[in-house]
DNA sequence: GTCTATATAACGATAGAC
DNA sequence: GTCTATCGTTATATAGAC
């Protein structure tokens, strides 16, 4: 950016990792993880290949660092919020899905999810990490809320782990679908998100007393 | 196989296309569409590369023929069933999701969906075909049922196209998830499918009269 | 002997190596 | 930056069915 012309490089220990990660995710998303060469990442980030290895162990590590940054750090935040929450459990789905919608709109989570879902089958390390830290943990958060609501009598009795999929998967699929097939009217998020929240609240609601 | 040593090939016009398609899908699923060489498909199917081109226009056509065979032909069957159906609309979701579950268990639809979702981003022809003929049409079938139920008063008023995603996407994601990450207890289909049908019926149900 | 399903071999674009 | 190997695709030759 602001480096003088004769200077070949600058020491920018603080900014490098983030720049490399972002360049990597952009390329992974455009061309696929397997098809992206570390050399392209280096070029896009304005560093040499060796510099990448200074901060990351491997190409896989470079992807998983993005998972940590984009997904897991937000799980931390959400879990903190949930542990402090003391309002009605019945309001949590709306609150949580609102936050998820915001993450989908404002971060690269959709691209990241698409890349991982596309290539995890061919990279066991990616599949293992994502399964344990994103799929299981993400579903676990939703299942926990459902279980709390059942206990408090605000939600009907159901299998929390199974029902968590009914709550979460449409959102993931809508988001990945738009990345894969382009924006199409059928998947319009402005219509889908409110509709889905409605659907979820009815699907979870306790039966009214007779 | 059982052909004599000196015989170089046999004339089997009828069986070839199906054998080639199946070999192709198996390899696409194992190694990915882009990574699979037509030569491997030819070998697996027991023919030469050129023979593939007798029956299919291109590698992409070979995948799309599988989409036709596995997905679209079943859409035809389902649409026929729906047009003949004259029971309660409220029973259709259970009926339909049961059929979908059966297709997921007994056909290669899950592998096919995973392959397409994984690689459509890099192959516009695949994305276009699948979007128009599977995504839009599949959601349209569900949306049609929902619209019929709203009209008959059996379902609550909602946006059919948006709600169709809440109905269908969890199933697709559950199925693709198990193919991508392996069978894990959280995604157990024996628990998920019944739970999801329950969730859907409640999500669609008309409000009870006060 | 004729027709055609199938194989062999060559072409050309593209991408990866040095 | 050039060279080469790879792979989708196509042209030509041949073997099997009737």
Mean pLDDT of A105-132: 97
How does pLDDT run across B28-77, given as a tens digit for each residue? Answer: 999 999 999 999 999 999 999 999 999 999 999 999 999 999 999 999 99
Q: Do residue A91 and residue A163 come from a single domain?
A: yes
Q: Do residue A37 and residue A141 come from a single domain?
A: no
Q: Do residue B42 and residue B145 come from a single domain?
A: no
Classified as helix, coil or strand, A66 is helix
Check pLDDT > 70 for residue A5: no
Check pLDDT > 90 for residue B9: no
A81 Cβ within 7 A of any nucleic strand C atom: no
According to DSSP, the residues that pair with B205 across neighbouring strands are B155
Which of A56, A72, A95 lies at the terminal end of a domain, its last residue?
A56
Give the pLDDT confidence score for residue B1 in this predicted structure: 40
CA proximity to B27, closest of B14, B18, B37: B37
Has residue A197 been placed in a domain? yes
Mean pLDDT of B67-92: 97
Has residue B209 been placed in a domain? no
Check pLDDT > 50 for residue B139: yes
Q: What is the CATH number of the domain that holds B148?
A: 1.10.357
Has residue A209 been placed in a domain? no
Q: Do residue B87 and residue B177 come from a single domain?
A: yes
How does pLDDT run across B145-154, given as a tens digit for each residue? Answer: 999 999 999 9
Q: What is the DSSP string of B27-95?
A: HHHHH-TTT--HHHHHHHHTS-HHHHHHH-SSHHHHHHHHHIIIIIHHHHHHHHHHHH--S-GGGHHHH
Write out the residue range of the structural domain in which residue A3 sits.
Answer: 1-56
Q: Do residue B133 and residue B30 come from a single domain?
A: no
According to DSSP, the residues that pair with A155 across neighbouring strands are A205
Burial environment of residue B56 by CB neighbours within 10 A (0 to 12, 13 to 18, 19 or more): buried
Kindly give the interhelix angle for A136-152 and A160-181, rounded to the nearest 10 degrees: 130
A209 vs B142, higher pLDDT: B142
**How many domains in chain A?**
2
Has residue B10 been placed in a domain? yes
Which of A39, A56, A73 lies at the terminal end of a domain, its last residue?
A56
Classified as helix, coil or strand, A46 is coil
Report the residue from A31, A119, A166 with minimal CB separation from B170: A166
**Percent of chain B, pLDDT > 90?**
90
Q: Do B180 and A127 touch (CB under 8 A)?
A: yes
Q: Do residue A52 and residue A139 come from a single domain?
A: no
Half-sphere exposure of B34 (CA within 13 A, CB side): 17
Classified as helix, coil or strand, B3 is coil
| A199 interaction partners in chain B (CB closer than 8 Å) | 158, 163, 166, 203
Q: How far is the CA of B64 from the C1' of D4 (A)?
A: 33
Q: Do residue B102 and residue B152 come from a single domain?
A: yes
The Cα B71–Cα A50 span in angstroms is 47
Check pLDDT > 50 for residue A104: yes
Interface-testing mutation among A121, A176, A185, A200, with chain B (most B C-beta atoms within 10 A):
A121
Give the pLDDT confidence score for residue A210 in this predicted structure: 54
How does pLDDT run across A152-177, given as a tens digit for each residue? Answer: 999 999 999 999 999 999 999 999 99
Q: Do residue A175 and residue A125 come from a single domain?
A: yes
Interface-testing mutation among A156, A178, A180, A183, with chain B (most B C-beta atoms within 10 A):
A180
Has residue B210 been placed in a domain? no
A13 vs A146, higher pLDDT: A146
Report the residue from A35, A180, A186 with minimal CB separation from B117: A180
How high is the mean pLDDT of chain B?
94
Has residue A210 been placed in a domain? no
Chain A residue nearest residue B137, CA to CA: A186
Q: Do residue B160 and residue B115 come from a single domain?
A: yes
Which of B35, B56, B77 lies at the terminal end of a domain, its last residue?
B56
Nucleotide nearest B37 (Cα, C1')? D7
**pTM above threshold 0.85:** yes
Give the pLDDT confidence score for residue A50 in this predicted structure: 87
Q: How far is the CA of B60 from the C1' of C9 (A)?
A: 24
Give the number of residues written for chain A: 210
Give the pLDDT confidence score for residue A152 in this predicted structure: 97
Give the pLDDT confidence score for residue B4 in this predicted structure: 47
Nucleotide nearest B13 (Cα, C1')? C5
Nucleotide nearest B49 (Cα, C1')? C7
Q: What is the CATH number of the domain that holds A20?
A: 1.10.10.60
Give the pLDDT confidence score for residue B8 in this predicted structure: 76
Q: Do residue A48 and residue A112 come from a single domain?
A: no
Check pLDDT > 50 for residue A200: yes
CA proximity to A71, closest of A126, A148, A12: A126
Q: Do residues B166 and A170 touch, judged by C-beta distance below 8 A?
A: yes
Check pLDDT > 60 for residue A2: no
Has residue B45 been placed in a domain? yes
Burial environment of residue A169 by CB neighbours within 10 A (0 to 12, 13 to 18, 19 or more): buried
Q: Do residue A2 and residue A33 come from a single domain?
A: yes
Give the pLDDT confidence score for residue A23 in this predicted structure: 93
Mean pLDDT of A38-61: 90
Q: Do residue A12 and residue A106 come from a single domain?
A: no
Question: What's the pLDDT band for A39 if we cut at 50, 70, 90?
Answer: confident
Mean pLDDT of A95-123: 97
Report the residue from A156, A165, A179 with minimal CB separation from B170: A165
Q: How far is the CA of B39 from the C1' of C7 (A)?
A: 13
Check pLDDT > 60 for residue B129: yes
Report the residue from A159, A185, A208 with minimal CB separation from B208: A208
According to DSSP, the residues that pair with B83 across neighbouring strands are none
Q: Which residues make Cβ contacts (< 8 Å) with residue B148, sequence separation at least 6?
A: B89, B92
How high is the mean pLDDT of chain A?
93
| B163 interaction partners in chain A (CB closer than 8 Å) | 195, 199
Give the pLDDT confidence score for residue A49 in this predicted structure: 87
Chain B residue nearest residue A113, CA to CA: B118
Check pLDDT > 80 for residue B16: yes
Check pLDDT > 80 for residue A8: no
Q: Do B186 and A122 touch (CB under 8 A)?
A: no
Q: Which nucleotides of C are covered by protein (CB under 7 A)?
A: 4-10, 16
Check pLDDT > 60 for residue A61: yes
């Amino acid at each position: 950016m602001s480096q003088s012309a004769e200077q070949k490089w600058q020491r920018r220990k603080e900014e490098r990792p983030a720049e490399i990660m972002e360049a990597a995710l952009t390329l992974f998303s455009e061309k696929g993880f397997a098809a992206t060469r570390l050399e392209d990442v280096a070029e896009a980030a304005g560093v040499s290949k060796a510099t990448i290895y200074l901060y990351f162990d491997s190409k896989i590590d470079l992807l998983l660092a993005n998972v940590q940054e984009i997904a897991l750090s937000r799980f931390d935040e959400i879990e903190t919020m949930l542990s402090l929450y003391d309002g009605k459990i019945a309001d949590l789905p709306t609150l949580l899905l609102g936050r998820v919608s915001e993450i989908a709109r404002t971060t690269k989570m959709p691209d990241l999810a698409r890349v991982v879902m596309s290539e995890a089958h061919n990279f066991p390390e990616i599949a293992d990490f994502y399964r344990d830290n994103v799929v299981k943990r993400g579903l676990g958060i939703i299942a926990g809320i459902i279980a709390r609501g059942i206990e408090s009598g605000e939600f009907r009795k159901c299998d929390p782990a199974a029902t968590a999929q009914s709550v979460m998967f449409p959102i993931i699929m809508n988001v990945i679908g738009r990345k894969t097939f382009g924006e199409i009217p059928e998947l319009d998020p402005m219509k889908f998100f409110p509709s889905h929240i409605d659907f979820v609240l009815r699907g979870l609601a306790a039966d009214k007393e007779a």
